Structure 1
């Protein structure tokens, strides 16, 4: 007690503010991450009446042949799409990092386009290319689109930019001394690839494999469009919860979806640490040397990948500006009249999606930056900081489908029954259910970890002497934060804002469980329109979301370049 009193007495007003800030972030994550997940776990071990039944729900699920097929189907398409996407991303990243390829910036940006579009757009493009009346089908390139083939193609495109981003970072950490030694010894290009390049990027490769697997394993958008009767877990859980209102069985499927994601998260954390430890401070940056034949092959490969990407989105754009494929190819912009789409709810859904994305971006950026700042720049409250840090990286292991499931079970319950007692607690958050705020909270939780990591990385680059000098001069930390830290972290803050906005605008896995007819949103409306045969209006809405995200990214790139140019001029002026 005496020690506690002494600690309280030694706490300054700034310490109290810091503690309250850390506490607020931790409470937010406990309330809207831990509590919904706990609700999900409890539901999986109960029956519809709320009675505890142990593993009976799991036994019932695995005793159903169709359910077991859904698991095996999900693993098959996830493994296939992961191998395809990571293999293509490996050679694409290698070409951009290690070869003299012209227009690298153009190829890199084209390869990133799928990030900015809903996954349903890939399915719609596939229908216009390989469907029964598809463009390539008419040319004799028919494939069994609806089912595993269509899902694998769509998921491979969806996972490609994610794997490319990871592998580009891995290829950037190379020691040129190893390659110089190999050339001196007359080592062949193939042997250098097998003995130097692949071992050097092995941790990034493993991380890319597991992340791509998780993305394809848990995605809902592509299977909902081109899955047909090929049942996978993401669509199965939707049928259980939305179609049959079987929340308990939905919780079982959610837990099954959670296991691969958690495994991927653990592997990614381990490989990231090992990769960081493997980078030597004495390493010499890789020097690209011209090699005509391999440079030409790399350029051709990048061109083919980029052409395929552009083809998919060009076809989707074409689908959105014609009246009726393939019978009436007249140009029209009527599909972009959202007031007539989805029984008149298209415009409202589009406005809601923009509003939700903006709110999620603002609140999410503030929350994640405050949390990262208090964890990185505070020296006290060690236990609170460690708990908050653990909670901050946890959402990276939670698929969007599981976030949506846990939210609907947590917010939909008017009361919470206390186990093994007759008492119950009133749910104070029940009123949020059915509003846009439940989707905002889901987006903030779902996409929390990546912006948090971005903020943490940016804060670690700032010299700790700023805080030390401020403390010695008795300058409040919030003044240092406002005058020094925020201006220096401005590019990272913009990156965080854009990440929240872009992902909140196109995500469907989580929000498909949370929207209501009173508050429609664009991604879910796209799924409904495509299912009702309104493919052209669905394509138009997808393209609008893509255009907005691309415009937002271009604005961010412009701000970043302006900031860099401004900093360069300032440095030159200081040196002069």
Structure 2
């Protein structure tokens, strides 16, 4: 073994130790607690939990709602992606659809639930327009299905939109030359190549709905779901940790199966060439149908979130709709809520900064180091493993490991759980970006005498700058809106905005809840725009302009100095005469 490999091996060992401490050990502790009681191996917890009638009911409800929501989310996402890629709608409208489709990602699922209550509740304007008849029941399965669809269709849209951009358009040309109808071309040339992506989108939407805690916390009511039962078992005076760990394992099983299925299906995904400008389904009928459906989907989505942007600015929604800033003033005057907002910002920024460095190091070791062949499979497995673990299960595992330690209830514990919980997506971003770079960068740098650190900062990072800032943006936004992974870990001095929203809801302080949701939305949108600018702006042009202005200033200074010297010489000569 050459000494040149030792830095990579040392870094690899530190990463593996990190995972052993924060992933393997907590999950092992969770498993042990499920099968032990008072230090003895027993199946009592399993038997007691599975014999409860509400467990089977909650498990069935969770599977049903997640499947139903994922089905409709994929359909809606497909309509939006098709409109963007295969119709002759205006470029501005397509860009608006792409942007507004991601709107729900800037808000926590708790806010979805509260907004659905205000949008469709008994006192909502929609209900009054419908002669006091509810359009849908916000509490229970109807409201949660609406919430889950809104929550998951942005993710499904990202997957399908990305896949549609790489459909081989030559297939449509061949299909038309063979005399196929538009419907046959639609099935053969579009649906069949997208089947794997559609399945992946469905599985991802199912996983997100099945493991979410925010929406059930707001809308479940007396409708039992696994996430709400798990929370009730782990909190309060009647907490039962033994049965709570068993429920956590029940939640973990479908998640592991769906992740394993995703990994299996990804093997059959074919990478296509970039699509041409040819629009396969150009025609007024397709434009009107899919364009109108997309506008309807976006409009209804915005309608659901409308209370978030209205309630903070009226006196008493929906009774007194006069403009008022009293709710904003209440939050601004509440130093406790301001401190919570500041702490949430700090948590999100620490997660974004530390996570980006950590995931970049992992991806670099897995793709470009001297031991890449040995660690790639290990890191890929760990990435899939973190993606398979629901946030609530991970939070409970951390609770059992760090209870009684200095980290318990601290800001740093929230950062650590976020680093594990959100690893999969930014790690894959870094892997894809680094894999596209030339393999000869490091060799060329060594021949030129550059150090490894200089190569990273002068060559590697500038070439993947956009990806690095996308990773930071993703981590920041996810940390701001998360609740499932941290709900069991927050302490008195480490409350976040999402956990505070849950507490305020218990006291019917919905106006303050919506103000906090507005803060979250504005912050996430602003940070997204900043990181996008930092990742996309051509700073080389700025440096060139700056250099040009500096040269002009220096030349002017030299001209002024020369002119001043000439005047001094003339004056000196005149005085001498």
Structure-1 separation of matches of 2:359 and 2:434:
12
Residue in 2 aligned with 1:419? none
- Cα deviation, residue 445, structure 1: 0.7
Structure-2 separation of matches of 1:385 and 1:204:
24
Structure-1 separation of matches of 2:267 and 2:45:
38
Residue pair 2:152, 2:209 contacting (<8 A) in 1 also: yes
Q: 1:211 aligns with which of 190, 194, 204?
A: 204
Q: 2:108 aligns with which of 115, 118, 123?
A: 118
Q: How does 1:541-552 map to 2 (within 5 A)?
A: 541-552=516-527
Residue in 2 aligned with 1:319? 311
Structure-2 separation of matches of 1:89 and 1:129:
23
Structure-2 separation of matches of 1:124 and 1:479:
50
Aligned partner of residue 268 in structure 2, secondary structure = helix
Structure-1 separation of matches of 2:241 and 2:385:
24
Aligned partner of residue 329 in structure 1, secondary structure = strand
TM-score with structure 2 setting the length: 0.89
2:386 equivalent to 1:398 = no
Structure-1 separation of matches of 2:113 and 2:398:
27
Question: Residues 97-154 of structure 1: CA distance to partner in whole angstroms, max 9, x if unpaired?
Answer: 1112222111111010111101111111111111111121111151222101111110
Structure-2 separation of matches of 1:248 and 1:307:
46
Q: How does 1:293-332 map to 2 (within 5 A)?
A: 293-332=285-324
Residue pair 2:469, 2:532 contacting (<8 A) in 1 also: no
Structure-1 separation of matches of 2:272 and 2:349:
41
Residue pair 2:50, 2:56 contacting (<8 A) in 1 also: yes
- Cα deviation, residue 196, structure 1: 2.2
| Inter-CA distance 318–161: structure 2 relative to 1 (3 Å threshold) | same
2:259 equivalent to 1:268 = no
Residue in 2 aligned with 1:424? none
Residue pair 1:26, 1:387 contacting (<8 A) in 2 also: no
- Cα deviation, residue 231, structure 1: 1.3
Residue in 2 aligned with 1:452? 427
Q: How does 1:129-144 map to 2 (within 5 A)?
A: 129-140=119-130, 142=134, 143-144=136-137
Q: 1:180 aligns with which of 173, 177, 199?
A: 173
Residue in 1 aligned with 2:559? none
Q: How does 1:415-494 map to 2 (within 5 A)?
A: 430-473=405-448, 475-494=450-469
Residue pair 2:80, 2:97 contacting (<8 A) in 1 also: no
Residue in 2 aligned with 1:252? 246
| Inter-CA distance 565–226: structure 2 relative to 1 (3 Å threshold) | farther
Q: 1:96 aligns with which of 80, 84, 89?
A: 84
Aligned partner of residue 559 in structure 1, secondary structure = helix
TM-score with structure 1 setting the length: 0.89
Aligned partner of residue 406 in structure 2, secondary structure = helix
2:482 equivalent to 1:507 = yes
| Inter-CA distance 456–381: structure 2 relative to 1 (3 Å threshold) | closer
Question: Residues 313-356 of structure 1: CA distance to partner in whole angstroms, max 9, x if unpaired?
Answer: 22221122223223332322232346578x86322221111111
Q: 2:39 aligns with which of 50, 55, 69?
A: 50
Residue pair 2:467, 2:535 contacting (<8 A) in 1 also: no
Show structure 2 runs of 5+ residues with no match: 546-577
Residue pair 1:163, 1:209 contacting (<8 A) in 2 also: yes
**Higher mean C-alpha displacement, 546-555 vs 244-253:** 244-253
Residue pair 1:110, 1:309 contacting (<8 A) in 2 also: no
- Cα deviation, residue 561, structure 1: 3.5
**Higher mean C-alpha displacement, 206-215 vs 328-337:** 328-337
| Inter-CA distance 405–95: structure 2 relative to 1 (3 Å threshold) | same
Give me the CA root mean square deviation: 2.2
Structure-2 separation of matches of 1:487 and 1:220:
39
**Higher mean C-alpha displacement, 223-232 vs 324-333:** 324-333
Residue in 1 aligned with 2:54? 66
| Inter-CA distance 83–384: structure 2 relative to 1 (3 Å threshold) | closer
Structure-2 separation of matches of 1:304 and 1:381:
48
Aligned partner of residue 315 in structure 2, secondary structure = strand
Show structure 1 runs of 5+ residues with no match: 1-6, 415-429, 571-576
Aligned partner of residue 201 in structure 1, secondary structure = helix
Question: Residues 380-433 of structure 1: CA distance to partner in whole angstroms, max 9, x if unpaired?
Answer: 374445433422342111111111111111111x5xxxxxxxxxxxxxxx2100
Residue in 1 aligned with 2:358? 367
| Inter-CA distance 470–338: structure 2 relative to 1 (3 Å threshold) | farther
Structure-2 separation of matches of 1:541 and 1:461:
41
**Which structure has the greater CA radius of gyration?**
2
| Inter-CA distance 566–21: structure 2 relative to 1 (3 Å threshold) | farther
| Inter-CA distance 566–204: structure 2 relative to 1 (3 Å threshold) | farther
Residue in 2 aligned with 1:108? 98
Structure-2 separation of matches of 1:565 and 1:189:
48
Residue pair 2:156, 2:205 contacting (<8 A) in 1 also: yes
- Cα deviation, residue 459, structure 1: 0.4
Residue pair 2:105, 2:151 contacting (<8 A) in 1 also: yes
| Inter-CA distance 69–337: structure 2 relative to 1 (3 Å threshold) | farther
Residue in 1 aligned with 2:16? 26
Structure-1 separation of matches of 2:423 and 2:29:
20
Structure-1 separation of matches of 2:484 and 2:318:
31
Residue pair 2:8, 2:371 contacting (<8 A) in 1 also: no
| Inter-CA distance 284–109: structure 2 relative to 1 (3 Å threshold) | closer
2:162 equivalent to 1:169 = yes
- Cα deviation, residue 495, structure 1: 0.5
Aligned partner of residue 187 in structure 1, secondary structure = coil
Aligned partner of residue 180 in structure 2, secondary structure = coil
2:61 equivalent to 1:85 = no
Question: Residues 478-498 of structure 1: CA distance to partner in whole angstroms, max 9, x if unpaired?
Answer: 221111001111111101111
Structure-2 separation of matches of 1:52 and 1:322:
59
